Amino acid sequence: MVDDFILRALAAGIGVALIAGPLGCFVVWRRMAYFGDSLAHSALLGIALGLLYGININLGTVIVCTVFALLLVWLQQRRVLATDTLLGILAHAALSIGMVALSFLNNVSFDLYSYLFGDILTVRISDLYWIYGGGLLVIGLLVFNWSSLTLMTLHEDLARAEGVNTVWANILLMLLMTIVVAVSIRIVGILLITSMLIIPAATARQLVSSPESMAIWAAVFGLIAVVAGISGSVEFDTPSGPSIVTAAAIIFALLSIVAAMRRRS
Partner 1 sequence: MTELLSARQISVYRDGKTILEDVSLSIGEKDFITIIGPNGAGKSMLLKCMMGFYAPSKGEVVRRAGLKIGYVPQRLVADHTVPIRVRRFLTLRKRAPKDVLLNVARETAIEEILDHPIHVLSGGELQRVLLARALLDDPDLLVLDEPAQNLDVTGQLAFYKLIEKIYAERDVSILMVSHDLHLVMSSTREVVCLYHHICCHGEPNVVTRDPEFISLFGNDMARLMAVYNHSHDHNHNHDEASHPHDHSQSHTHEHLEKLDG
Binding positions for partner 1, rule: CB under 8 A? 28-29, 147-148, 150-151, 153-155, 157-162, 164, 205, 208-211, 213-214
User: Which residue, 17 or 28, is less far from partner 1 as judged by CB?
Assistant: 28
Residue with Cβ nearer partner 1 (83 or 246): 83
Instruction: Supply the minimum distance, in Å, between the C-beta of residue 171 and partner 1.
Output: 17
When the beta carbons of 34 and 160 are compared against partner 1, the nearer one is 160
State how far the alpha carbon of 80 is from the alpha carbons of 86, 114, 149, 249, in Å: 10, 37, 27, 37
Output the smallest distance, CB 25 to partner 1, in A. Answer: 8
Between 27 and 57, name the residue whose CB sits nearer to partner 1.
27
**DSSP-derived secondary structure for 123-139:** --HHHHHHHHHHHHHHH
CB nearer to partner 1: pick between 131 and 169: 169
CB neighbours of residue 213 within 10 Å: 12
User: How many angstroms separate the Cα of 197 from the Cα of each of 31, 49, 112, 155, 182?
Assistant: 11, 25, 22, 22, 13
Q: Nearest approach, Cβ of 10 to partner 1 (angstroms)?
A: 30
Closer CB to partner 1, residue 2 or residue 80? 80
How far is Cα 188 from Cα 61, in angstroms, rounded to an integer?
15
Q: Min. distance of Cβ 201 from partner 1 in angstroms?
A: 9
Q: Rg (Cα) of the chain, in Å, rounded?
A: 18
Using the minimum distance from each CB to partner 1, give the nearer residue, 88 or 211: 211
Least separation in angstroms between residue 221's CB and partner 1 is 15
Looking at residue 222, its amino acid is: G
What one-character-per-residue DSSP string does 69-97 give?
A: HHHHHHHHHHTSS-HHHHHHHHHHHHHHH
Distance from the Cα of residue 78 to its chain's centroid: 27
Kindly state the smallest distance separating residue 157's Cβ from partner 1, in Å.
Answer: 5
Residue 220 neighbours by CB distance under 10 Å: 16
- Measured N-to-C along each axis, helices 146-154 and 125-144 cross at an angle, to the nearest 10 degrees, of 70
CB 52: neighbour CB atoms within 10 A?
14
Structural contact between residues 28 and 200, judged by C-beta atoms closer than 8 angstroms = no
Closest distance between partner 1 and the C-beta of residue 160, in Å?
5
